[in-house]
Amino acid sequence: MREMEPLADPVRDEVRIRVIYGGICGSDVGVYLGKLKHATYPLRPGHELVGTVTHAGPAATVKVGTRVVILPNTFCGECSYCQNGDTNICVQKKSLGVNMDGGFSQEFLISSKFVLALPDDLPNEKAVLIEPFAVVVHAFKKVKITKGTSVCIVGCGNEGMLAAALAHHLGAQVTAVDINPHKLELVKQIGDIQAVLPEDMRLQSGQFDVVIEAGGTSSSVENGIQLVRPGGSMVVIGLAQEAIFPVAHVVRNELTLYGTIIYNFPSDYLQTIEYLRDPLFSVDAIVSSIMPFTSYQQAFENALSGKYGKVILSFNEA
């Protein structure tokens, strides 16, 4: 933990945020372990954030007292991608907690361009999932997942768990695969989901309409492709550095592979909020624990252990 200089008052369109909750993400754990190549110390992690606006600059677009979720990936609004609504592939994108300081702190300043007001009926425990869940909501737009679609989720980290929850919510027949039995136990708590180890998937090869690859390893990509039925699709969320797969298998079976990165703002955030507002969409199985930020070391160790779902830091004063 670092003691920070007192914050300056917000200028221009900036707002000062008092953080309520921050979710620990795989990339925060990567920063914590020093494994993220494009992140260099000293760096404050944290990008899955909800908080309250306590001060607003003269040109800010949100008022003091507003409860907000943060958009941690900035965009310029001017490049051809931004103009088209594809803020996720903006040429000037920067990421909070990766190549600039993040929000695991009691307070920070940010441009009000990068916050979104929350509806009153969305509790903080759900709102803190907006950022990671928007990744899944965006990915699902690549394919058609509806009642009865057979969907296989490969990798049950936080994104995989959220993907399993959304596919289940949409009425799909969901199978989830992970090498970690703890994750399989967690994913089963979402609902009627078949949760299996990779070695138990052999018989289901070539059977799924849609495979969501959220493992981010070469083997999860390579195994994922084998699971897609002829004419089906695989959506790759994970960031495997590389993978080797038979191109002829993809060609002969007319498979479609999609890459997908984060989300567009505000469209995907708004749709994510609508899913989370639905009382039928439960996140109890996904959020494992909420810990005070002063126990951050234990919280990161828990997130690393592979035994938990989403671990959340609370920045409320004890």
List contacts with Zn ion (CB under 5 A).
25, 75-76, 79, 82, 90, 132
Q: How far apart are alpha carbons 256 and 217 in whole angstroms?
A: 19
The minimum distance between CB 91 and Zn ion, in angstroms, equals 6
SS3 of residue 135 by DSSP: helix
Give min distance, CB of 95 to Zn ion, in A.
Answer: 9
Q: Rounded distance, CA 48 to CA 286, Å?
A: 15
CB 132 within 8 A of CB 275: no
**Among residues 167 and 262, whose Cβ is nearest to Zn ion?**
262
Residue among 92 and 146 whose Cβ is closer to Zn ion: 92
CA angle 11/12/16 to nearest 5° reads 50
Closer residue to Zn ion (CB): 83 or 219: 83
Structural tokens at position 160: 């995989």
Q: Which residue is at the shortest CB distance from Zn ion?
A: 25
Distance CA 217, CA 239 (A): 7
Nearer to Zn ion, 7 or 79 (CB): 79
CB of 130 to Zn ion, least distance (A): 11
CB of 47 to Zn ion, least distance (A): 6
Report helix, strand or coil for 70. Answer: strand
**306 forms bridges with which residues in the sheet?**
none
Least spacing, CB of residue 28 vs Zn ion, in Å: 7
- The DSSP bridge partners found for residue 152 are 175, 211
Nearer to Zn ion (CB atom), residue 196 or residue 290? 290
Between the CA atoms of 143, 83, 273 and 13, what dihedral angle is there, to the nearest 10 degrees? 160
Q: Given the complex with Zn ion, which of 79 and 261 has the nearer CB atom? A: 79
How near is the Cβ of 45 to Zn ion at its closest, in Å? Answer: 10
